[in-house]
Amino acid sequence: MVLLSLTASHRELDLDALERLSTGSSSVGRVVVRTCGPVAGAVVISTCNRFELYLDVDAPLSGDSVRHATRHVAELVADASGVTGDVAARSFTVRTGPEVTEHLFAVASGLDAMVVGEREIAGQVKRSLAEAREQETTSKTLELLFQTASRTSKRVGTDTELGSAGRSVVALALDLAERELPPWDGTRAVLIGTGSYAGASVAALRARGCDDIRVYSQSGRAEIFAESHGVQPAASLVEALADADLVVSCSGARGRLPAARDEPEAEPERLADVVAGNFGGPTTLPRGLMGEDAPEASLGHVLDAAALVRARERAADRAGDEPEPRPLVILDLALHRDVDPRVADVEGVLLFDLATLKARAPAVAHDVVAQAQGIVDAAARRFEETRLGREADAAVVALLDEAEVRAVAEIAADVARLTDELAARDQPAPDESDVEAIARDVRRRVHAELHDKIVAIRARATAEARAAEAALVQGAEALTAEASAQRDAGPSQRR
């Protein structure tokens, strides 16, 4: 078994490129497992700032085969996301063997996040494994890898200051919004979406003293979410916006079909039908997507500029004699941009998106990061030692099976010989205790002879695995370097 991962994140790509790449990501794991024979398992992590595919490959790989495997997976990702195969291949950083383990543990612990120390990623890693289980794409190795990553994340959270700092994309976004808002106890907030970031936003808003929170959802889940979180559902987004000071949008519902609202794993082909004009025209979704009185929404945005202008007009009417309505701060935390960027041009509106947050993310003290990294490195080493040991165990088990066959034969021969000797002296045949004594002696001798062989097998298996993984790392590094060079090159220099 070989671990292989393909990563595209905010560190390598701008968020626009990452957004295009991760479109249709929910189906990629299934497709890879079903169409790639050597792939025994796949887990996909798709968040607001990363798209990663972890593979368990049941085949020997060389540097060249890593290149071919990566290219094949890139083509599958390209088919699901609508980008070209070349773009997908250039976008990935490829890791193999121990590098996969080290990277995932760092990701789960918040060390590779847009906001270093972000704790929400730990939950996203858990959900990624749960989704892979539902899709039946996991393997024993990936199960153990992801479960160990979660345990490592918990230790970083409890044993370092990184875990107690409460750092997250949501917290950073609210920090940036705070200076433009009324006091929190007088702020009226609207959430768009009912996923994990919406839940984290409710908790973060309440911690700051904001209790006037409403939630809107295209999928019709607003009332369920509102009841479970103690907030108010909003039937019309335009109405809610007209009376809001702050909007936190984190639905990631860009481009979804109304008919698929309750189906989080809507197939990309259905979305392609919309783009092709088979549902409401080539560039629009049906009226009502953003509330009964919203204008037709442009495909791809939960909140467009026209709807916001209408909401601001209502806010101005309600303001009456006041010189202008209260300003509106919008936080777009969805990778697939819930909010049309042109919203920033509407008077009285301030828009913060993920690109803004990435540029303003604060640094973390070096010693705190080093302590967390030490925990991650130690956990990764232990996992790899265990994994290599398990791979050697297969050879050891085969040797033990062979030894048992030999022992059984020797026991039978010794019992027969003793039986003949006793018969020659007219004595009774060996009883059960005699046979057990012979069996113990034979097995003790056979297993003693195996000790040196087992030690040699483990050492050889470990050395061969490490040598193979070193070759894989070289191949992955060459592939990543090639992709990086193509990303850095101008369009005219790319092949």
Residue range 26-43, pLDDT digits in tens: 678 888 888 877 788 999
- Give the residue, 260 or 38, on which the prediction is more confident: 38
> Which pLDDT belongs to residue 274?
24
Mean pLDDT value of segment 252-269: 37
Residue 347 has pLDDT above 50, yes or no: yes
**How far apart are the C-alpha atoms of 247 and 192, rounded to whole Å?**
7
Q: How confident is the model at residue 196 (pLDDT cuts 50, 70, 90)?
A: confident
> Which pLDDT belongs to residue 216?
92
**Kind plus residue range of the DSSP H or E element containing 391:** helix 366-424
From the list 326, 304, 303, the residue with the least C-alpha distance to 314 is 326
3-class state of residue 116 by DSSP: coil
Q: How confident is the model at residue 470 (pLDDT cuts 50, 70, 90)?
A: low
Mean pLDDT value of segment 86-91: 74
- Give the residue, 32 or 196, on which the prediction is more confident: 32
Mean pLDDT value of segment 196-212: 89
Give the predicted TM-score (pTM) of the model: 0.60
Residue 213 has pLDDT above 90, yes or no: yes
Kindly report, residue by residue over 139-148, the tens digit of the pLDDT. Answer: 988 999 999 9
DSSP 260: G
Mean residue pLDDT of the chain comes to 75
Mean pLDDT value of segment 165-171: 73
Contact 128, 44 (CB under 8 A): yes
Domains along the chain with CATH numbers: 2-166 (3.30.460.30), 169-360 (3.40.50.720)
Residue 13 has pLDDT above 80, yes or no: no
Mean pLDDT value of segment 309-316: 81
Contact 268, 80 (CB under 8 A): yes
- Give the residue, 463 or 440, on which the prediction is more confident: 440
Please confirm, yes or no, whether 48 is among the known catalytic residues: yes
Q: How confident is the model at residue 292 (pLDDT cuts 50, 70, 90)?
A: very low
> Which pLDDT belongs to residue 163?
64
Residue 365 CB neighbour total at 10 angstroms: 11
Residue 181 has pLDDT above 80, yes or no: yes
Measured at the CA of 488, the angle between CA 18 and CA 370, to 5 degrees, comes to 70
Q: Which of 36, 48, 210, 250 is catalytic?
A: 48
